[in-house]
């Protein structure tokens, strides 16, 4: 079996670079996976320490049947939902695949089967390709896997920056996360941020509805924020974090006038919904009266929530909280996943 290295990583840049020597590809919104196949056994490594092999038996079976020779492949595991002609990636459905019960894993592998999108080849047979330029690795990847049927796919690429910009705009409608740029002459660099990623970035005005105390016990760890739906209710859509030590303490004083209190004068608390990723994490928060608006930066909306933690931009004292609705959010136009996989 191959030794599975740490995956090569990417650093964020604001725009599509317009220079020679780059290869662009869609940024798939799934689980990063390095697949090792030695001719008899399959192992799926993750970006973190947790192997993914047991959670995707349908992919293990597909790799064993379809991979033409021993290899080590870098790619992304994704799950698509929707009818043919209107499919898109779906993160919540994918995240449900990480389950401790073997019976549940088996059921989900049948109900929501995953796909593997290959985008790099690290080894082929007894040849280690990591020191070779990406252009060579890409050519070997297409040669090895380009003709395989689903659920194995090879990502599309382009060296045209203008086309990459179109992908950035269009492919979001199929649930993708942006665009990645790689140097054509670049070797594989495990654990290093040598690729470039360009993600969707937007701003929204949201209502501060509560805060969690920092894990140190001092100051605000994260702000909970909400948006009003068509039902007139204020919905929790995510959190704002990454405050400095000084700012965390300042926020306690700034938000004190907004803290909801009970008849005895104590702060009213609530709990956010738990997920399988919460574990023993404290999900309680101090409730705030929904009177203060802030502007945040976000990259993507998934259902009724921001896909990732959002970033604080500024307070908006000029905004009426009731004006902070889902209608203000920019989302990608629908785009069929099948058109991205071509």
Q: With contact defined as beta carbons under 8 Å apart, do 9 and 191 qualify?
A: yes
CA neighbor of 300 nearest in space, from 178, 140, 162, 144? 178
Phi/psi of residue 105, nearest 5 degrees: -60, -45
215: annotated active-site residue: no
Q: Which of 27, 192, 199, 215 is catalytic?
A: 27
β pairing state of 193-199 and 9-12: parallel
Question: Which residue shows structure tokens 């992304």?
Answer: 76
Q: With contact defined as beta carbons under 8 Å apart, do 285 and 224 qualify?
A: yes
Tokens of 97: 């695949």
d(CA 338, CA 87): 7
CA neighbor of 239 nearest in space, from 175, 319, 318, 307? 307
CA 10 to chain centre: 13
Strand partners, 250: none
Torsion sign, CA atoms 295, 296, 301, 303: negative
Question: Which residue shows structure tokens 């073997």?
Answer: 102
d(CA 142, CA 158): 14
Q: Tell me the CA distances in angstroms from 178 to 14, 25, 27, 163, one per residue in order.
A: 11, 9, 5, 13
In the chain the first and final C-alpha atoms are separated, in Å, by 31
CA neighbor of 196 nearest in space, from 134, 116, 117, 146? 134
β pairing state of 301-302 and 220-228: unpaired
d(CA 198, CA 168): 8
Active-site residue set: 27
């Amino acid at each position: 079996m191959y030794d599975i290295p740490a995956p090569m990583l990417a650093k964020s840049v604001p725009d599509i670079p317009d220079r020679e020597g780059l290869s662009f590809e869609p940024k798939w919104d799934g689980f990063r996976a390095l697949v090792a196949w030695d001719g008899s056994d399959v192992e799926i490594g993750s970006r973190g320490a947790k192997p993914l092999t047991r959670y995707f038996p349908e992919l293990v079976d597909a790799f064993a049947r379809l991979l033409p020779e021993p290899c080590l492949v870098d790619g992304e595991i994704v799950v698509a939902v929707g009818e043919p002609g209107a499919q898109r990636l779906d993160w919540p459905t994918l995240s449900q695949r990480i389950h401790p019960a073997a019976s549940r894993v088996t059921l989900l592998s049948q109900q929501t089967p995953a796909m593997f999108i290959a985008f790099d080849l690290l080894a082929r047979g007894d040849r280690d390709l990591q020191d070779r330029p990406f252009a060579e690795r890409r050519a070997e990847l297409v040669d090895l896997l380009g003709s395989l049927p689903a659920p194995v796919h090879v990502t599309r690429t382009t060296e045209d920056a203008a086309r990459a910009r179109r992908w950035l705009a269009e492919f979001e409608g199929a649930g993708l996360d942006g665009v990645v740029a790689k140097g054509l002459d670049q070797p594989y660099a495990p654990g290093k941020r040598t690729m470039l990623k360009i993600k969707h970035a937007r701003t929204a005005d949201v209502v501060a509805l509560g805060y969690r105390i920092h894990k140190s016990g001092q100051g605000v760890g994260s702000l909970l924020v909400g948006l009003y739906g068509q039902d007139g209710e204020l919905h929790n859509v995510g959190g704002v974090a990454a405050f400095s030590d000084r700012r965390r303490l300042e926020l306690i004083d700034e938000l004190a006038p907004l803290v909801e209190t009970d008849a005895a004068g104590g702060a009213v608390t609530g709990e956010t919904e738990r997920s399988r990723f919460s574990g023993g994490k404290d999900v309680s928060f101090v409730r705030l009266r929904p009177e203060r608006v802030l502007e945040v930066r976000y990259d993507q909306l998934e259902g009724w929530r921001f896909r990732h933690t959002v970033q604080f931009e500024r307070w908006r004292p000029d905004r009426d909280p009731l004006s902070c609705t889902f209608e203000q959010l920019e989302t990608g136009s629908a785009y069929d996943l099948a058109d991205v996989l071509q």
